[in-house]
Chain A
Amino acid sequence: MANPLKPVDVVLVGFGWTGSILAEQLTQTGLQVLALERGKFRDTVPDFATTQIQDELRYAARDGLFQDTARDTLTFRNSVDQTALPMRHLGSFLPGVGVGGAGVHWNGQLWRFLPEDFVIRSHTEQRYGKGFIPADMTIQDWGITYAELEPHYDTFDYLCGISGAAGNIQGQIQPGGNPFEGPRRRGYPLPPLKRSYPTVLFDKAAKEIGFKPFPCPAANASAAYKNTLDVQMGPCTYCGYCEWFGCGNYSKASPQTTILPVLLERKNFSLRTQCDVTRINLDSTSKRATGVTYVDQQGRQFEQPASLVICCTFAQHNALLLLLSRIGQPYDPKTNTGVVGRNYAYQITSGVDVFLDEIMNPFMGAGALGQAIDEFNGDNFDHGPEGFIGGGYIALWTTGGRPILQHQLPADAPKWGAGWKKAMAENYLKSASIATHGSVMSYRDSYLDLDPTYRDVYGDPLLRLTFDFHPNEIKMSGFLTDKAALIAQAMKPRSFHAIPRIGHYSIVPYQTTHNTGGCAMGADPRTSVVNKYLQSWDVHNVFVMGSSVFPQNAGYNPTGTVAALAYWAADAIKNHYLRSPGPLVHM
C-alpha cells in the first residue's frame, strides 16, 4: 500500500526543460509546487566542471548522462506485422534523466516553427488540393497559431540569451537573418556566435548558388548575458563538448543556467529527486486526478495528492504515463480510433561529408554554431512539382571534433587497417559535414502503445514503438540531400559524398532526440489527447507538455516550440484555469 503524503497544489512529473518552466511560472502565483524527478540532482558545479565533463568515452560513447535502459526502455518494430523487441541500449535517441532533463545535454539549436507548420493540413489542402495528402497520412492542424505562440517564443529567447540574427522583425525582412522565419517582435538578445571556418565556407558557397544563408540561432551565449530572471550567463568558449555533455561554463542555456538559481530559492517550490512516477491517480469518476504514485530510490511507494498534475516527462514517456494511468482512449491503428499513442513522429536527417584542402580545426565549435539555409523548409517552396509534403533546413554545424564519434572519412577510405589510419591522419583536421534536418509527417501506422511482453523494473509494460520512414519522407530527404550536395560542391572541396537516408528506420545509429507525438494537441477530441492549452480532454486537471503534443513534426529542432507551448499553457493555467478549474475548451 502506498504511503499517503501531504497534498500540494501542483505536482510536476519530470524536471527538465518543461518542468522547470512550469515550476517557475506557477510558483509566481503562490501555489505550492512540487517537482518529482526520476534522476539525480546535478548542477554546473561539480557535475559539469570541465575537469571531468570533457570525457567522450564516459558521456558520449557510454551515454553517461542519459536514461538507463536497464530500468526503462521501449520496444521497437518497423511495422505491425513484426514482433517488437526491446531497445537494449540507447541508439537512435537519447532521453535525459536527472534534474534539467535533456536540457542539460542538448545542443541549443533554437528554432521557431513556421506559421504554416501549425496549420499544415488546411494550408496544404488549400494550396495543393485535398488529393495531395496521402490517404494514410494523418497530419492535422495544431489548434493554435504562430501568432498566439509568438510572445512565448520571445519569452524563451530572452530567458536563454539566444545568439542570432533576426530575419523578420514585425514583417520587415532583415539582412543577414533567415528571411523565411515568421515575424518576431524584436531581434535576438545576443549577436551571433563567432563563425568557425567551415561555416564561413558554407556561407560563401550557398550565396554563390543564390541561397540566403544565415547564422543559426544558438542557445550558446555569444557574450555575457543577464537573463530575464536576473541569472548571469558567461560567454561560450567554443570548447566543442556541448551536446551529450553539460556546459561547465554557464554558457549553454539549460534549466540550471537560466531558471534554477531563482526557482530553488522560492519557498513554495520543492523538488524530490530519484522519484519515479508510475501512475497518475484518478478519483472514482475517472474524470479528475487526485495526484500521483511514485517509487523512491529505496523502492518505497508513495501517493502524492495534488490538485493539478502536469506531465513533463519528455515526449514518449508522457504517452506511457497516460496509457498506464488509463487517461484518454488508447489509439488502435486497426480501427483508427482512440488517441493516446497516435501520431508518433520523428525527424529525418541526412548528410554530406566534405573534405577540404585547408585546416578546419573541427574541435573548435559549439552545440549550435552553424550556418543554414531555409529555402526548402516547410512550405517555403512550391511542393507541386516535387510531389511530397514537408521539408527541412540544410546547415553546416561545427559542434565539435570529438575524435571517437565525430570523425569523417572519404567514401573510399578503408574501413580499418593501415589505410584507415592514413585516412584518419589526412582527413580529421580537414573535414566538415553538412546536415539536412527534415520534417516527418504522421501516419496511421506510426504509433505508441503498451508492449504485451516486456516489462520495466516495476513490472509495468514497456512502451512499444511502431515506426518507419514513409516514401514521402524518403523522397523529401533525398531532395534536401541533393541541395546540400550542391552547396558542398560549391565549397570546392577535395572530395565530398552524400549520405542519404534510405531504407527502414533503424533504432541503432544516433539520429536525433526529436521524438514527437503520442499525446497530440488539437481542436477535436477524436483526434487529439489535449486541447490547445495542453489540457487533457478527459481529465481536466491533467496537462501534458513537451513534443509529445506535436501532431506531426516540422523541419526544425523542437525545443523552441516545446518551451513556447509550455509558457502558453502556464499562461492559460494562471489566468484561466486557476480562476475556475474545469475544461478550458468546451465542445
Chain B
Amino acid sequence: MPRRRLYKAQKPLAAVADLSEQSRPTGCDAQKPSGVKECASLSRRSLLNAALFLPAAPLLGCSSSRESNHSEGQEPPPVFAFFTPEERAFVEAATERLIPDEEDGLGARGAGVAVFIDRQLAGSYGRAEHWYMQGPWATGVPEQGYQLKLTPAALYQTATRNVNAWCQKNHGKDFAALPGAVQDDVLHGLESGDIELTDVPAKVFFTMLWNNTVEGFLADPMYGGNRNFAGWKLIGFPGPRYNYSSEIEQYGKPYTLPTVGILGRNGTLLRKG
C-alpha cells in the first residue's frame, strides 16, 4: 500500500538488484547488449575493471573496517570501479551541485555520493540485470516509463559524453571545469529538457542522476554513500533501529540514541562483496 510519497515519481529508474553481485565486472554477456558499440566499450571496461576493481573492493572494505579509528578527515581516497576519469569528474561535479557540501560538509561530496553511484553502476543495477531489455524498442509516452535500450551504466557513459560535448560547444570547457553557477544552469537545462543531448533524452538522464544522488545520500553507508551518516544526520533519521515500542508514544520528543547503520555505528564500513 501507499508509501507516503504518492506522486513525485521518486521511484527510481531501477529494478531488482542482487547486490551481492556488485563486484562482478561489467561484461557483455551479463546483459542484453544495448548495441555493438556499447558492448565493445563495455568489454574494454570489464578488462580494466577486472584489474582495477576486484582488488579494490576488498581493499576499501578492509581499510575502513580494520582500522575503524580513522578520523573523519583521514579516509583513504575512494577507489573507483566503473567510472573513467572523465565520467568520475562529471558525476562528482554534478552531484556536488545537486546536494552541495556548503559549510557543514554534509553534502554529496562529503557523503561519497559519486562513490555510491560508481559502485551501483558496476553492479547488477548498472547492467539492468533485472530489467526487461528485449526489443522492439519504441519511445512511447511518459506513462509507459523507461523505454531506452541503454542500461543505466550505458546511459551514464553516453550522457556524460553528450553533456561534456554540449558544455564544450557552448562554454568551451567540460562540465566539471565550469563555475558552479553555470553548472547549475546546465543541470536545470537537463532537468527541463531545454538542453538537447545528441544521443539520449536529457530529462530521462537527469531523473536517473537525481534519483541515484538521493539514494547515495540517504542509503545505508555500507553502499559507499551517506558516509559517516552525512545524509541521515542532516535530516535526523537515526538509522534502521529495531524497536521503538517505548518511544512511539512520547509525542513531540526528539529521539536521542546515536545513528546506526546495518553494519553498526561506524559510518564508513562498506558492504563486502
Contacts and interface: CB of A to CB of B under 8 A. Distances in A.
- Chains A and B belong together in one complex: yes
Interface of A: 50-52, 54-58, 61-64, 66, 68-70, 73, 76-78, 82-83, 85-91, 106-107, 109, 194-197, 200, 235, 237-241, 243-244, 248-249, 349-351, 353, 358-359, 361, 363-365, 367, 397, 399, 401, 403-408, 415-418, 420-421, 424-425, 428-429, 432-433, 435, 437, 453-455, 499, 501, 504-514, 557
Contacts of A78: 141, 143
B6 A509 contact: yes
Report, nearest first, the 3 A-B pairs whose CB atoms are least far apart.
A54-B240, A89-B15, A428-B235
Given A363-B237, A437-B2, A454 B134 contact: yes
Contact of A403 (B8, B145, B218): B218
A364 B239 CA distance: 11
Contact of B132 (A89, A240, A365, A408): A89
Scoring B14, B106, B247 by chain A CB atoms within 10 A of each residue's CB, the highest score goes to B14
Contact of B142 (A407, A408, A508): A508
A424 B15 contact: no
Interface residues of B, number: 76
B201 to A, nearest CB: 14
Contact of A64 (B16, B142, B146, B243): B16
Contacts of A397: 1-2, 4
Contact of A69 (B5, B10, B15, B191): B15
A35 to B, nearest CB: 23
Given A70-B130, A88-B147, A404 B219 contact: yes
B237 A62 contact: no
B2 A511 contact: yes
Contact of B1 (A106, A197, A365, A404): A106
B194 to A, nearest CB: 15
A351 B7 contact: yes
A88 B13 CA distance: 9
B265 interface: no
A196 B248 CA distance: 6
A77 B140 CA distance: 9
Interface in B1-53: 1-17, 19
Interface stretch (B55-63, B164-172, B251-259): B251-259
B145 A508 contact: yes
Contacts of B107: 421
B214 interface: yes
B132 A87 contact: yes
Contact of A418 (B102, B231, B238): B102
Contacts of A404: 10, 214-215, 218-219
B6 A351 contact: yes
A70 to B, nearest CB: 5
B241 interface: yes
Contacts of B86: none
Interface stretch (B68-76, B93-101, B154-162): B93-101
Contact of B247 (A70, A364, A420): A364
B210 to A, nearest CB: 6
